[in-house]
Chains A and B, each alone.
Chain A
Amino acid sequence: MSQAPSNFDEFMEGLWKQNPVFVMVLGMCPTMAITVSAVNSISMGLATTFVLSASCLLISLLRSAIPKQVRIASYIVIIATFVTVVDYAIQAISLDLYEALGAYIKLIVANCLLLGRAEAHAAKNPPMASLWNATGMGLGFTFGLLCIGGVREILGAGKFFGIALFGDHFQPWVVMVLPPGGFFIMAVWLIVFAAWRSRKQRASADHASTEEAKA
Chain B
Amino acid sequence: MNHETVANILLTTILPGNFVLAMFLGMCPFLGVSQKISTAFPMGLATAFVILVASVSAYFLNMVLVYYHLEFLSVITFITVIACAVQLVEMFVKKQFPVLFRQLGIYLPLITTNCAVLGVALFQTARQYNFVQSLAYSIGGGLGFTLALVLMASLREKLLLANIPPLVQGTAIALIVGGLLSLSFMGFAGIGGGE
Contacts and interface: CB of A to CB of B under 8 A. Distances in A.
Interface in A178-215: 178-184, 186-187, 190-191, 194-195, 198
B103 interface: no
Nearest to A197: B167
Interface stretch (A80-88, A136-144, A150-158): A80-88
A137 to B, nearest CB: 16
Given A76-B79, A109-B75, A191-B168, A32 B183 contact: no
Contacts of A109: 75, 79, 113, 118
A106 B75 contact: yes
Interface in A75-105: 76-77, 80-81, 83-84, 87-88, 102-103
B193 interface: no
Interface stretch (A1-9, A110-118, A121-129): A110-118
Contacts of B126: 102-103
Contacts of B123: 103
Interface residues of B, number: 43
A62 interface: no
B31 interface: yes
A26 B173 CA distance: 17
Majority secondary structure, A binding face: helix
A182 B24 contact: yes
A165 interface: no
B176 interface: yes
Contacts, number: 120
A191 B113 contact: no
Given A180-B179, A191-B168, A77 B76 contact: yes
Interface string B162-195: 0000111001110110111011001000000000
Contacts of B180: 180
Given A190-B172, A191-B172, A28 B24 contact: yes
B112 A72 contact: yes
Contact of B75 (A26, A29, A80): A80
Given A179-B24, A183-B176, A186-B175, A84 B72 contact: yes
Complex A-B, nearest 4 residue pairs according to Cβ-Cβ distance, in ascending order:
A183-B179, A28-B27, A33-B24, A187-B175
Interface of B: 21-28, 31, 72-76, 79-80, 83, 109-110, 112-115, 117-119, 122-123, 126, 166-168, 171-173, 175-176, 178-180, 182-183, 186
